Amino acid sequence: MKKHNFNAGPSVLPRVAIENSAKAVLDLNGIGLSLLEISHRSKDFQAILDEAMALFKELLDIPAGYQVIFLGGGASMQFCMIPYNFLNKKAGYLETGVWAEKAIKEAKFFGEVDIVASSKDKNFSYVPKGYTIPADIDYFHITTNNTIYGSEIRCDIDSPVPLIADMSSDILSRPVDISKYSLIYGGAQKNLGPAGVTFIIIKDGILGKTDRKIPSMLNYATHLKEPSLYNTPPVFAIYTCLETLRWIKGLGGIKTIESMNIKKANLLYDTIDNSKMFVGTVEKESRSIMNICFVMKDQYKEKEDAFMEFSKTKGILGIKGHRSVGGFRASTYNALPIESVQALVDAMNEFEKNNL
């Protein structure tokens, strides 16, 4: 039976990226060595790194004056690296979910944090609007996609101060005006590659604004001086990212991916909105096209477990909602084919028909 992988992360990857990575584990490009055993200082890995960086810049149309590096530690490591490097007196954060809360918690170790706006009052079911970004903060931090609650900022906001964004779960899903950001970061395990590598897009000239001494591994300047190679990088994960980037380019690039993603999201949201049994949990204007959250209406709540088991019989995996929301979450990342969304929609319709 075909499996439909809706896991929130680590998540679905392009099949060609998995297959080519598997081949490279056995023998990288016919050199007689596994990808897992080559030196990160070798010309073979340097070629992988150079192509991955170049493709990343090309696909996202990253302008001159920005650098791309790959690090370990996940996005969670960036929660402390960012204030370590940029927070001098006060920073501003948009509080839109669990990951934003975690970033805020880390920033408070380094200085004052101004929560500029929050959607916590309604269990993070919307993206705040109408707020004013203070001009006296060192930077403004946003989390563009809320994986747990299913909201997304699908525009590039104007900020009077350096704008920093966690794009872990929606990078490469839509065109981004990189010039509006000072730093963009994220874990790879949604749209880019396997867990174990973190991407950083950083604008030239924004470092050195704080007086504190920063440990070498937590200092962005360290990793920019020796691009992604100060210490041993996650070689395998970077290679799989390269294969994914090649796949995206082969499809036609980011605009093509965005069109595919919107089509998938619309198919599922239309089904939810027209259902007598299921209902969405996020305000429509704030809905994510990456993580689609929904529950059963109150009178059918007791049937949620039954639907979960029914969906498994259709090969549908990973749709259990986060414990803080309940219900269901379908992660429709780049590599998820529309056929999988159709399988979920068909299962929802069949279950509803038989259980009303």
pLDDT tens figures, 184-234: 999 999 999 999 999 999 999 999 989 899 999 999 999 999 999 999 999
Mean of the pLDDT values across residues 44-63?
Answer: 98
Q: Write down the pLDDT at residue 325.
A: 87
190 catalytic? Reply is yes
**Three-class SS string for 59-76?**
HCCCCCCEEEEEECCHHH
Report how far residue 328's alpha carbon sits from residue 344's, in angstroms, rounded to the nearest whole number.
Answer: 11
177 catalytic? Reply is no
* Closest to 266 (Cα-Cα) out of 160, 345, 179: 345
166 catalytic? Reply is yes
Q: Write down the pLDDT at residue 312.
A: 97
Report how far residue 119's alpha carbon sits from residue 127's, in angstroms, rounded to the nearest whole number.
Answer: 6
Report how far residue 257's alpha carbon sits from residue 288's, in angstroms, rounded to the nearest whole number.
Answer: 15
Give 233-290 pLDDT, tens digit per residue.
999 999 999 999 999 999 999 999 999 999 999 999 999 999 999 999 999 999 999 9
Residues 6+ apart with CB under 8 A from 150: 281, 282, 287, 288, 291, 292, 293, 325, 329
Helix (H, G, I), strand (E, B) or coil at 32: coil
Q: Is the pLDDT of residue 324 over 90?
A: no
Mean of the pLDDT values across residues 296-306?
Answer: 97
* Closest to 185 (Cα-Cα) out of 99, 77, 75, 87: 75
The dihedral through the CA atoms of 294, 300, 301, 304 has a sign that is: negative
Q: Write down the pLDDT at residue 285.
A: 97
Report how far residue 220's alpha carbon sits from residue 229's, in angstroms, rounded to the nearest whole number.
Answer: 12
* Closest to 67 (Cα-Cα) out of 193, 166, 168, 207: 207
Helix (H, G, I), strand (E, B) or coil at 130: coil
Catalytic residue among 99, 138, 247, 264: 99
Report, at the CATH architecture level, how domain 15-251 is classified: 3-Layer(aba) Sandwich (3.40)
Q: Do 140 and 162 meet the contact criterion of CB atoms below 8 Å apart? A: yes
Q: Do 150 and 97 meet the contact criterion of CB atoms below 8 Å apart? A: no
Give 142-173 pLDDT, tens digit per residue.
999 999 999 999 999 999 999 999 999 999 99
Q: Which residues pair with 90 in a beta bridge?
A: 112
Give 99-111 pLDDT, tens digit per residue.
999 999 999 999 9
Q: Write down the pLDDT at residue 323.
A: 85
49-63, 250-264, 312-326: which has the minimum mean pLDDT? 312-326
Q: Write down the pLDDT at residue 1.
A: 85
* Closest to 331 (Cα-Cα) out of 11, 2, 1, 63: 11
The dihedral through the CA atoms of 251, 257, 263, 264 has a sign that is: positive
Catalytic residue among 138, 170, 190, 247: 190
Mean of the pLDDT values across residues 26-33?
Answer: 98
Residues 6+ apart with CB under 8 A from 69: 199, 200, 202, 223, 224, 227, 228
Q: Write down the pLDDT at residue 20.
A: 98
Percent residues over pLDDT 90 in the chain: 98
The strand ranges marked E within the chain are: 4-5, 66-71, 90-95, 112-118, 140-143, 145-146, 151-152, 163-166, 183-187, 198-203, 278-280, 291-296, 316-317, 328-331
Mean of the pLDDT values across residues 122-137?
Answer: 97
Q: Please state the domain extents for the chain.
A: 15-251, 253-355
Superfamily of domain 253-355: Aspartate Aminotransferase, domain 1 (3.90.1150.10)
Catalytic residue among 138, 166, 203, 247: 166
